[in-house]
Amino acid sequence: MPKAFSEHEKETIRAQMREKGKKLFEKQGLKKTSVDELTEAVGISKGAFYLFYESKEELFLEIMEQLEEDIQARILEFAMKPKANARESLKSLLWNFLVSWEDYPLLKNFTKSEFDYLIRKIPLQRVQEHTAHDEEFISGFIRKMKIEGLMIKASPRTVTNLIKTLFLISLHRDDIGEEIYKESMNILTDLVAGYILGE
């Protein structure tokens, strides 16, 4: 049976698991990284791992959510330039949201196959919590656009669905091919921006 950890030890181990786990997941992907490798990297037993996480997928999702929060904070710092074209500004914002994933190797290498695997392995309630968090962000995103003077004509639900669709397309970038993906996303972000603004 794993030994009991102090609160300080728990915080330290959890931080190390996120740090070491992130590196392993970046290098090998979610499916190929084992719990044994994660525990060896941190220096704890396999039994101790399950004191912190129900599965490696739970750890992966927690790391992903931290990265997403960083991206979302960057997006919400967006400020329109005076007299800027609204559609171009929104298109740029959507494009930067998707492209900023490339700043994070873990997210950049996250494929449709790994996405499907993660959804299968994570409990439904946890998936629903994550979805609710994403929807809260998009609501904040819409409020931010309105504060910036963008006249949003689409409903919040439609904006949410369009942004999710762009994200899901981004998971297929390897299947599509880098050049075609970027060209297609340039067009799609423009069309989505125009629809959101009612143009």
Q: Into how many domains does the chain fold?
A: 2
Does 30 share its domain with 46?
A: yes
Domain that includes residue 34, residue range: 1-53
Residues in the chain: 199
Q: How many of the other CB atoms lie within 10 Å of CB of 19?
A: 12
pLDDT of residue 83: 62
Are 84 and 120 members of one domain?
Answer: yes
Q: Which one has a higher pLDDT value, 141 or 198?
A: 198
The answer to whether residues 120 and 46 belong to one domain is: no
**SS3 of residue 54 by DSSP:** coil
Let me know whether 140 and 81 are in one domain: yes
| pLDDT of res. 92 | 83
User: For 33-87, what is each residue's pLDDT tens digit?
Assistant: 999 999 999 999 998 999 899 999 999 999 999 988 888 887 777 655 656 688 8
Are residues 146 and 69 both part of a single domain? yes
* Amino acid present at 95: W
Q: What are the tokens at 176?
A: 């599509």
Comparing CA positions, the residue from 9, 60, 17 lying closest to residue 40 is 17
Question: What CATH code is carried by the domain that includes residue 46?
Answer: 1.10.10.60
24 pLDDT above the threshold of 90: yes
The 10s digit of each residue's pLDDT in 132-184 is 888 888 888 888 778 877 788 888 889 888 988 988 888 888 888 888 988 99
My answer on whether 7 and 21 are in the same domain is yes
Contacts of 169 (CB under 8 A, 6+ apart): 184, 185, 188
At 1 the pLDDT is: 47
Q: Are residues 41 and 86 both part of a single domain?
A: no
Closest CA to 110 of 20, 187, 188, 33: 33
User: Looking at residue 67, which CATH number applies to its domain?
Assistant: 1.10.357
The pLDDT assigned to 3 comes to: 61
Residue-level pLDDT at 15: 94
- The answer to whether residue 2 scores a pLDDT higher than 60 is no
Q: Which residues contact 126 (CB under 8 A, 6 or more apart)?
A: 58, 61
> Can you give the pLDDT at residue 53?
93
Instruction: Give the residue from 88, 108, 90 showing the smallest Cα distance to 99.
Output: 108
The pLDDT assigned to 77 comes to 74
- Which one, of 198, 175, 167, 172, lies nearest residue 75 by Cα? 167
43 and 75 in one domain? no
pLDDT over threshold 80, residue 129: yes
Residues 45 and 73 in one domain: no
Q: For tokens 């525990």, what's the residue?
A: 39
